[in-house]
Structure 1
Amino acid sequence: MLFYSTLLRLAGLLCLSAAYSTLSDDTLKSIPGPGDDFDVKKGSILAPILQTRVSGTPGNAAVLQHFVGFFKTNLPKWNLEFHNSTSTTPTSNGKEIPFVNLIATRDPPGAQVGEVGRLTLVAHYDSKLEPKGFIGATDSAAPCAMLLHTARTLDAALTKKWESIATDGLDELDEQKGVQILLLDGEEAFVSWTATDSLYGSRALAEDWEHSFHPAMSTYRNPLDSISLFVLLDLLGSTGPHVPSYFKTTHWAYKHMANLEHRLRELGEFKSSPNHPSKLAKRKNKKPRDEPRFLVDAEKGDDAFIGGFVEDDHVPFMARGVEILHIIPTPFPKVWHRMTDDAEHLDMDTVEDWTKLVTAFVGEWMELEGFFDFKKEKRKVHEEKTEFGIP
């Protein structure tokens, strides 16, 4: 059975890499940015996350409730689950600390348990205990906000695609893929990073999912097997990030994201670019400058992968055979684990660029070209704000 499951996984990866569907230039140019929703003081998505949120504290619970409220209000078709665990920590004096992971899933209508492969988007939402009052804006408030915006931006297109499949009677065997967002608790160490003082939520979730079997003869053996790709965002939001490609087996997916970054830059859609129209307009010398890259390893050869990686929430999943795309800068941002990792030190142009890039990547993975109607969605949001008296 394990051999059969492994063959299915390898076949699935080959199929995904071969059948990847690109978005048009018009679609890329139309992807909405988060706008006021990412205002660090009053934005409806980002601002509520920018607080201390150490696992087991009221701030942590408040941020979790913010996530739940966001999905219930904006994305009622997503299924929400809580994964609860407890553990002692080096600072808890023998007391069990609660850790709560939020799992938000959008599968095709009528999908059967064990028959859906899922693109899994991941960020941790807890913050570090020390220094006292640490916010963790890049670590990882901004990545969490990016995932919420991505889900909201793509939701209507997913609905339209799946309705079209049902109406047109297309072959559903090729369409059993969904999207899953994991907002994980307890990534941070309470004292210092060790195998037992870190990754509390992800370790518990990976272990439970390993032993949560789907019905016999399912395409996917368990929830871990259902993960087509585990895309982990961390430490995003500082200027000038350099994100390597860490894993040879998912380099093809990294290259697709890197290609999207290149196209968005060429289309003038990256606000952090020195050649963005808004920056060119302010410069006396209009000559384009060298274009930087977030994803710096698009041309990396197979012989350049030497096995190094950054320990993070993916580790318990990777140890169980899940394919990982880790989007984390090396070197880390200068604000890493410092009090300056706060709202004021976020580079909002970079935050918005990452948000658009992740949204485009998911849109391509889910083959949503032709199913977007951003003008209609913009009108809907405007009408809802007017109804509730929101400026």
Structure 2
Amino acid sequence: MVLIVALLSLLSLLSLGAAYGTLSDDTLKKLPSPGDEFDIKNGAILAPILRTRVSGTPGNAAVRQHFLDFFKSQLPEWHIELHNSSSETPTSNGKKVPFVNIIATRDPPGSHPGEVGRLALVAHYDSKLTPPGFIGATDSAAPCAMLLHAARTLDAALTKKWEAGAADDLEEQRGLQILLLDGEEAFKEWSDADSLYGARALAEDWEFSYHPAASTYCTPLDSIDLFVLLDLLGSAAPKVPSYFATTHWAYKSMAKIEQRLRDLRQFKSSPNHPARMAKRKNKKPRKEPNFLPEAAKSDHVFMGGIQDDHLPFMARGVEILHVIPSPFPVVWHNMRGVEDDAEHLDMDTVEDWTRLVTAFAAEWMELEGFFDPKAQGRAAYTDKTEL
């Protein structure tokens, strides 16, 4: 029986890998940049997130409304759901703190609950209570902004693909989900009880939320083909290991895209990007400092994981690709000067991660040939959130 289960798991992973569609060089070059929308002062997508946003506070609610406004105005075809829970914390004096997860889903037209497997792109949006004024630019304002931009970039291509009838084939019944989770941060000291509030509540609820009988996927957890969690991204020169053997193939796929983008001189943080080379006297190409350096490592050598929002989902059998640097950025939870702020973001690196995550999702969803360069150049989003 153990052997049968292992073989079924392997066949499932091989099937996912086989369905992965490579983007052309031309498409990779034409993926849109977030540009001014990621300006740390006035950018319509990123700037409203760069504030304190502790769970249960007005700042947290304002950032949540920013996300909802974005989806309502920019991505009206997405189904938006709020998942509410509450819990006492070590600092709440017996009162319950509310936690609100945002679940944004785009499934093929005509599909029904339980029919569609999904790629889940995930980040948390709350910030740490201490030290006072902590912003959490890498943790995880920038990752949230990356996901908003990626969702919008992919949306028109998904529509074009499905209008072409590609979703009529059951093999093409694949959806995309953005999870913006609340309550990742500990209020006092990280522990199983004081952390991951929103993720724990959502995973527990989804475990027992059953789809109709005879559905392909029994629960929303079963529907997640891959859970890609972004965290602590936005500092220069990150190194992200491959944490789990069962998703090393997905890590290698993302690493391959990264190398292609570097070879095409599309990574702005690369020492070999044309803009950087133009400023150097020595024009000789330099070694590329890859974000994902472990694509070639043995499938049997893995360091395990880092505690984060994926844990309640992984404990219930969801496959995880954890995109988090090790070591952590030097600004992470820096008690000396609250340095994980907007000014300490490396914006070239932020933009490079955005392009990489978007390309990875586009290949997963097999969107080659469905991108419209003219549509990608549409007018920038104007945020209405008051800070």
- Which TM-score applies when normalising by structure 1? 0.94
Q: Check conservation: 1:5, 1:221, Cα contact below 8 A.
A: no
Residue identity matched to 1:365: W
Choose from 254, 258, 263 the match for 2:260.
263
Question: Is the CA contact 2:119–2:175 (under 8 Å) kept in the aligned structure 1?
Answer: yes
Partner residue in 1 for 2:312: 316
1:5 to 1:118, Cα distance in 2 relative to 1, 3 A: farther
Distance 1:154 1:357 in 2: 13
Question: How far does residue 381 in structure 1 lie from its aligned partner after superposition?
Answer: 1.8
The residue type equivalent to 1:346 in the other structure is L
Q: Distance in 2 between matches of 1:377 and 1:209?
A: 34
* Cα distance, 1:375 vs structure 2: 2.1
Preserved contact between residue 206 and residue 317 of structure 1 (Cα < 8 Å): yes
Partner residue in 2 for 1:355 = 354
Q: Contact conserved, 1:233 with 1:328, CA < 8 A, in 2? A: yes
Q: Deviations over 1:205-261 (max 9, x none)?
A: 000000001111110010000000000000000001000000000000000000000
Give the drift of 1:171: 4.9
Q: Which of 327, 330, 333 is the matching residue for 2:326?
A: 330
State the 1:303 CA deviation.
Answer: 2.4
2: CA distance, partners of 1:171 / 1:272: 41
Show the 5 A alignment for 1:264-279. 264-279=261-276
CA distance in 2, matches of 1:210, 1:267: 43
CA-to-partner distance for each residue in 1:326-364, whole Å, 9 max, x for gaps?
Answer: 000000000001210000000000000000000000000
For 1:198, the equivalent position in structure 2 comes to 195
Aligned to 2:283: 286
Cα distance in 1 for residues equivalent to 2:204 and 2:168: 35
1:250 aligns with 2:247: yes
Distance in structure 2 (CA, Å) of the matches to 1:263 and 1:221: 37
Q: Work out which of the residue numbers 227, 230, 233 in structure 2 matches 1:233.
A: 230
Alpha-carbon distance, 1:57 to partner: 0.1
1:212 correspondence with 2:209: yes
Percent of aligned pairs with the same residue?
A: 72
Contact 2:245 2:300 in 1 (8 A): no
Q: 2:41 matched to which residue of 1? A: 41
Q: Which amino acid aligns with 1:381?
A: A
Deviations 1:113-152 (A, max 9, x none): 1000000000000000000010000000000000000000
Give 4+ residue runs of structure 1 displaced > 4 Å after superposition.
Answer: 3-10
The one-letter amino acid paired with 1:362 is A
Q: Distance in 2 between matches of 1:279 and 1:13?
A: 40
Q: How far has the Cα of 1:4 moved from its partner?
A: 10
Would the aligned equivalents of 2:161 and 2:370 in 1 still touch at CA under 8 Å? yes
Q: In 1, are the aligned partners of 2:19 and 2:364 still within 8 Å (CA)?
A: no
How big is the shift at 1:317? 0.2
Task: Tell me which residue corresponds to 1:345.
Answer: 344
Measured after TM superposition, the shift of residue 66 of structure 1 is 0.2
Q: 1:377 Cα shift?
A: 3.2
Who is 1:74 aligned against? 74
CA distance 1:160–1:244, change in 2 (3 Å): same
Distance 1:56 1:42, change over 3 A: same
Of 6-15 and 354-363, deviating more is 6-15
Deviation at 1:14, TM superposition (A): 1.8
Distance 2:67 2:357 in 1: 19
> Where do 1:133-148 residues align within 5 Å?
133-148=133-148
Secondary structure of the equivalent of 1:313? coil
Give the CA deviation at 1:6: 8.8
Q: Secondary structure at the match of 1:28?
A: helix
Residue 181 of structure 1 aligns with which residue?
178
SS in 1 for 2:164: helix
1:300, distance to aligned residue in structure 2 (A): 1.0
Partner of 2:366 in structure 1?
367
| Structure 2 counterpart of 1:203, one-letter code | R
Residue 298 in structure 1 maps to residue 305 in structure 2: no
In 2, the alpha carbon distance for the partners of 1:368 and 1:302 equals 29
Name the residue aligned to 1:381.
Answer: 379
> For residues 7 and 81 of structure 2, what CA distance do their matches in structure 1 show?
29
Q: Partners of 1:60 and 1:354 in 2: how far apart?
A: 24
Q: Work out the CA distance in 2 between the residues paired with 1:24 and 1:274.
A: 23
**Equivalence for 1:126:** 126
Q: Aligned-pair distance for 1:111?
A: 0.5
Maintained 8 Å contact 1:209/1:224: yes
Between the two proteins, the alignment pairs up a number of residues equal to 378
- What TM-score, normalized to structure 2? 0.95
Following superposition of structure 1 onto structure 2, how do residues 93-132 of structure 1 map, counting pairs within 5 Å?
93-132=93-132
Whole-angstrom distance in 2 between the partners of 1:58 and 1:8: 47
Deviations 1:168-215 (A, max 9, x none): xx7521111100000000000000100000000000000000000111
Residue of 220, 224, 228 corresponding to 1:223: 220
Partners of 1:321 and 1:10 in 2: how far apart? 14
SS at match of 1:69: helix
Corresponding residue SS for 1:381: coil
Structure 1: gaps spanning 5 or more residues: none
> 2:332, 2:340 within 8 Å by CA — same for their partners in 1?
yes
